[in-house]
Structures are given as C-alpha cells and as structure tokens.
Amino acid sequence: MTVESDRTKFNDVVKEFRFAMLTTMSKEGEFHARPMSVAEIKPDSTVYFATSLQSPKVEEISRDSNVVIIFQNSSQFATLTGRATTTQERTLIDRQWSETWRVWFPGGKDDPDLCLIAVEPERGELWDQSGLQGISYLLESIKAVASGVKPISNSDQHSKVTL
C-alpha cells in the first residue's frame, strides 16, 4: 500500500467510530484514560470531542497537549496520537452540537461551560480484521493451532501511518 492509501484506509475505518478512549497525562505524570463520545472526525483524521471547561482533561491538555486516542469495535482497532487543544469557537460548536449533550450542558450549544477538544493527528496505527482480512486471520489461526507454528503477521491487517 502507498502512504496515501494507508492514510485513506485509516480515516475510512476511524470515521465510523462513535466512541473512543482519550488518554492524557495527569499532573502526577500518570496516564489518564476515559471514554468519550466522538463529536466529529474530519477527512484528515482530526478528532473532536465535547467536554466541560471544568473537566480534568482540559487542565491536563493545557499542561501537556500530547494525547492518545484508542478506538475499538469487534474486528477493528486503531490508535491515533496527536496534539490536543481546546476551543469554544462558536461555528465549530454549532456545527457539531448534538441534543444528547444537553444532559451535560443544560444551556445548550451556548452553555458557557461547553468547549471542544480538537486532536490534530500525527500518527495512527490500525489493526483491521474485518471482511476478507478477518477470514484470512481466522484461517491463519486455525493453521497455526493445527501445526503448532505461530502465524505470520499479515500486513493487510496492520498498518502504521503518519498523519
């Protein structure tokens, strides 16, 4: 695969995820991961999340903007590393607003506590065991169990990409 096709495949898989684990660095220097609802994933793999200005992740991002996002479903897994920023840009919030957020932001999209986290991607890694890749992986696994030989990694199932 080419670098551009790897990027396209990465984004095609990632844009389907609705939830992810966002990992920041705590003030104690420990990893801090939490589940987040994805607000939007742009074609360049920039990821947006809605959050409260008062949340610990906003403080953690202001101290260290390096973050990791982990996506997972039953047959696809991806990580994205990048730099996070927070914004209260009205046009972005208006475009991404979801009424389901009203639970946390009773003032709606104009709630003064609402902000977005934008993660500019730097690198991504993808494990795709869906479709034909999944069947290939299953067959290789059966062969490995029968022969006692560890299966060879299939590059169609795993890729690293600079975003």
Does the pLDDT at position 135 exceed 50? no
In this prediction, residue 159 carries a pLDDT of 75
Pairwise pLDDT comparison (6 vs 44), residue with the higher score: 44
pTM: predicted TM-score of the whole model, two decimal places:
0.82
Pairwise pLDDT comparison (11 vs 147), residue with the higher score: 11
Q: What's the chain's average pLDDT?
A: 87
Is residue 58 within 8 Å of residue 32, measured between CB atoms?
Answer: no
Q: How do 19-25 and 158-162 pair as beta strands? A: unpaired
Residue with tokens 């990821």: 47
CA atoms within 13 A on the CB side of 66: 6
Pairwise pLDDT comparison (64 vs 159), residue with the higher score: 64
